[in-house]
Structure 1
Amino acid sequence: MWHRCRKNELDPIHGLSRRTLYEIVRVEETRNYLWPGAVSESLRRWRSFVHEPNHRLWDPRYPGCTEWLCCGDPIRARENLEGAMRALPRRAGRELRVLVLALDERY
């Protein structure tokens, strides 16, 4: 079920509870390595990379244009997700980890 997070009006992450979405917003606001919407953007970027047929051809020496909003770095996106999962309370971290590990399995 999709819930819109009213606190920052960002698109929510499908498959996460309202409580977890709230915790994600809190973590994004309190960690200097994240920004509002970082978890959602990182998950979207990691998902699109993993589902890309040629994803194993990613070469970090040629990261595209290096602009996060344009090409982004899928490895950095995965690192952002890892940081968020570790910073979240246990229950919220587990919910997010289920989504991320499913993508990791595919990768």
Structure 2
Amino acid sequence: MPRRRPGHVRAELPPRRRTSQQRTVDGPSGLSRAALAEILHIERTRNYLWAGGTAEALRRWRTFVREPGHRLWDERTNGGCLIWACCGDPFEAREFLESVMRALSRRSARELRALVEPLDDLY
């Protein structure tokens, strides 16, 4: 039996939908792709960070600072289990962001700091 040419085999296949080659990186919006990739790498390699923790910490700090009664936070009444990822201690989230900024390169840390500093000024 003769061999079929690869072009003929591919021509008989159903057309493939082209998907985006861009990999989605779960991280804070407003950062460059390089900074997001570095955050993803650091979250995977450091034992005190976890995947998606930076985006969650930034979201938690942003919502805390923007709510009207943010200065009335009392961890005894608002805390719960005292784990910020679970019950939402915003000061732990801010410390988490600081640890990420210290682990990043200067350029990426500057980008993340540009998102965090306006929130710090509001607080």
- Amino acid of the residue matched to residue 38 of structure 1? G
- Amino acid of the residue matched to residue 57 of structure 2? S
Corresponding position of 1:15: 30
Tell me by how many angstroms 1:53 deviates. 0.4
Tell me by how many angstroms 1:69 deviates. 4.4
Q: What CA distance in whole angstroms lies between the structure 2 residues aligned with 1:70 and 1:31?
A: 20
**Structure 1 unaligned regions, length at least 5:** none
Q: What CA distance in whole angstroms lies between the structure 2 residues aligned with 1:26 and 1:81?
A: 15
- The runs of at least 4 aligned residues of structure 1 exceeding 4 Å deviation read none
- Residue 87 (str. 1) matches residue 84 (str. 2): no
Tell me by how many angstroms 1:71 deviates. 2.7
* Alpha carbons 2:65, 2:122 under 8 Å: kept: yes
- Amino acid of the residue matched to residue 24 of structure 1? I
Aligned residues: 100
**Structure 2 unaligned regions, length at least 5:** 1-22
TM-score, scaled to structure 1? 0.85
| Aligned Cα root-mean-square deviation (Å) | 1.6
- Residue 4 (str. 1) matches residue 4 (str. 2): no
Percent of aligned pairs sharing the same letter? 58
Of residues 32-41 and 76-85 in structure 1, the stretch that sits farther from structure 2 once superposed is 32-41
Secondary structure at the residue paired with 2:44?
helix
- Amino acid of the residue matched to residue 31 of structure 2? L
- Amino acid of the residue matched to residue 34 of structure 2? R
Corresponding position of 1:51: 66
